[in-house]
Chains A and B, each alone.
Chain A
Amino acid sequence: MAAPEKLLVDGIRKARSRVEPPIINLKPVNWFFDLNRAMSIWPVTFGLACCAIEMMAVSMARFDIARFGAEVFRPSVRQADLLMVNGTVTKKMAPAVVRLYEQMPAPKYVMACGNCSISGGPFKFEGQYGLVEGIDQLIPVDVYIPGCPPRPEAFLEGIFKVQEIITGRRWWPEPKEMIS
């Protein structure tokens, strides 16, 4: 019999599914598919708290996530390949987040957007009773976007990072004048 699963957060189990490597790995074919995937990421319409407002901002005309192919927000995780965990993950919501992750078809990627989903953020204090302090305790996270909330530009950088994870390189110029 398998050892009982260790629960990291009170009574909430971790995601069980993992992303398996491709069964048939024809490198050039996969590279072609990955490139297409990276340039047409479909995120889930999923917002848990104030960070979701920035997700809305980044999908609107001014920041225009469509320039990078990620504007097709899907209402069902079964059609999506990027789960942006935007905002505060309560213990009540956490099992649903785990289930959403498990329902996504692979290849799938997770962005933890905002301090809340990274670590509990402003609500992490001694004696807090309602929050999961870091969604990465429950589902594997690929990209972390810090901020409370992150700027829309940071969301775009997060998308670039996911594209980099998929294809192995960055596709857009670095904003040099902002680094200094």
Chain B
Amino acid sequence: MNGPEQWLNDWRKAGALSLSRHDPAKEGITVSAFLPAAALISSAEKLGQAGYTLLDISALEALEGLVVTYHFDSFKEPGRLALRVLVSPRKPALPSLYSVFQGAEWHEREAADFFGLVFENNPNLIPLLLPDDLPGPPPLRKKNGALSPISKLGLLGQAEIIDPGFGAACGLGE
């Protein structure tokens, strides 16, 4: 059994860029972390071994790039967790979680539809909800000027910034 604090420790060891504690009554999640893309699969594997399932994959375009959020929940422990990855909007590539949670394939296809994300090793990355030949850029990518910085999006809760570079990029000090 892993409580939220142990997950935070785990993610710290995995090289998290920042860790956050949230008020579950208000925000719906207990803890979350920004991870480097390389640590995503191993962290998801650990969650999978502890009985967690992938709830959804959502994306959001912020000033610093695309924030991709993976929500996890478990039937055994209370509290949802979130893993977040920041990817560059110019080259939005991420590893696929298909090898850990098979159902991730659909969530990834949906995120790819609307945000143009590329999930490497997803076996079937074709549009899920949108037509194959929809012209134009991915529809939920914002026009410039409408973007907010991550610090204003309410994603960070009570945050502990580990990677100073990440903190500086998001306009947050130590």
Contacts and interface: CB of A to CB of B under 8 A. Distances in A.
Interface of A: 10-11, 90-92, 129-130
Contacts of B131: 11, 90-92
Contacts of B145: none
**Interface SS, B side:** loop
Contacts, number: 19
B130 A92 contact: yes
Contacts of A92: 129-131
A42 B128 CA distance: 33
A148 to B, nearest CB: 23
Contact of B139 (A10, A11, A90, A130): A130
B135 interface: yes
A90 B135 CA distance: 14
**Considering residues B131, B134, B136, which has the most beta carbons from chain A within 10 angstroms of its beta carbon?**
B131
Contacts of A91: 130-131, 134
B174 interface: no
Interface in B123-147: 129-131, 133-136, 139
Nearest to A91: B131
Nearest to B131: A92
